[in-house]
Amino acid sequence: MEARTGYADIAAHYRNRIAAGELKPGDPLPTVNEAAELHQVARNTAVRAYALLKREGLVTTHAGAGTVVANRAGVAPATGAARVDRLKAGGSNYAPGETSTGHEAMLRSCTDPGICRDLEIEPHDEVVIRRRVFRRDGKPVILGISVIHPRALAEVPILLQQGRLDRLWHEIYEERTGRAIHRSPEMHTARHASDDELAALEVPVPEGVDVAVPVLIVRTVWHDENGPIEVWEDIHAPGTWHETKP
């Protein structure tokens, strides 16, 4: 028996296109009648799908303009995993209205026990660290930190290049080694931010006062056939919302 298209299927279709950056803020969606015809459903089904997208804050309705993609300035941008997925699919690294600053690269000793475990390295082994601050409308919302296994550096020496890379380093690595990079599911936790993280996120802290500021951490680990190769942490600024895939 062939599955019927429901309102949730239609909502998911446009939700995924918005998440992928194919539909940007202000872009129009088909009219309700057009959507019903396109997806071969009753008009009421399309109406219900659009109503769901509107409740989720993904679209809005303007007189004379119909249903358009909303400018979700108050919602935090995508995670590192979603950024890589979009880049591999030919999309943009950035969510609508987003920029990045403070791109830097360094070779450092790894002292974080969790990252050492995830990368399967010994404490104080050297790793490549790349940092950047993602901003929405100029305001820092996420500090993205990539901790990369040193074996990747031999194949992709530009990992230590300062500034933003022009290309996803995973693709360069895969081309040169023939080994595909895959990711594990995202992991979420919360902890108190370090002074360095608060400074990068421009969180004001009274001078001389020890203040515990909780932040959301989203961690993703990437692997190739030889083992883990990168840990990416997204450190979300206090007060921002984190949006996950349905």
pLDDT of amino acid 1: 39
Are 25 and 70 a contacting pair, CB within 8 Å?
yes
pLDDT of amino acid 206: 77
Among 5-14, 71-80, 111-120, which stretch is predicted with the lowest mean pLDDT? 71-80
**pTM for the full predicted model:** 0.71
Percent of the chain scoring above 70 in pLDDT: 93
Give the residue from 76, 81, 70, 87 showing the smallest Cα distance to 20: 87
Query: What is the DSSP code string of 214-232?
Result: EEEEEEEEEEETTEEEEEE
Whether the per-residue pLDDT at 93 is higher than 90: the answer is: no
**pLDDT tens per residue across span 113-148:** 999 999 999 999 999 999 999 998 889 999 999 999
* Strand bridging mode 227-236 / 139-148: antiparallel
Backbone angles phi, psi at 33, to 5 degrees: -65, -40
Q: What is the CATH number of domain 80-236?
A: 3.40.1410.10
pLDDT of amino acid 75: 55
pLDDT of amino acid 136: 84
Backbone angles phi, psi at 107, to 5 degrees: -110, 120
What residue spans define the domains of the chain?
A: 7-69, 80-236
More confident of the two residues 220 and 21:
220
pLDDT of amino acid 77: 52
pLDDT of amino acid 62: 77
Whether the per-residue pLDDT at 55 is higher than 90: the answer is: no
pLDDT of amino acid 43: 95
Q: Give ∠ CA 39-42-43 in degrees, rounded to 5.
A: 95
Burial class of residue 155 (count of CB atoms within 10 Å of its CB; 0-12, 13-18, 19+): middle
pLDDT of amino acid 241: 67
Whether the per-residue pLDDT at 246 is higher than 70: the answer is: no
In whole angstroms, what is the distance from residue 185 CA to residue 232 CA? Answer: 12
pLDDT of amino acid 205: 81
What is the average per-residue pLDDT within 75-79?
61
In whole angstroms, what is the distance from residue 222 CA to residue 199 CA? Answer: 28
Q: What is the CATH number of domain 7-69?
A: 1.10.10.10
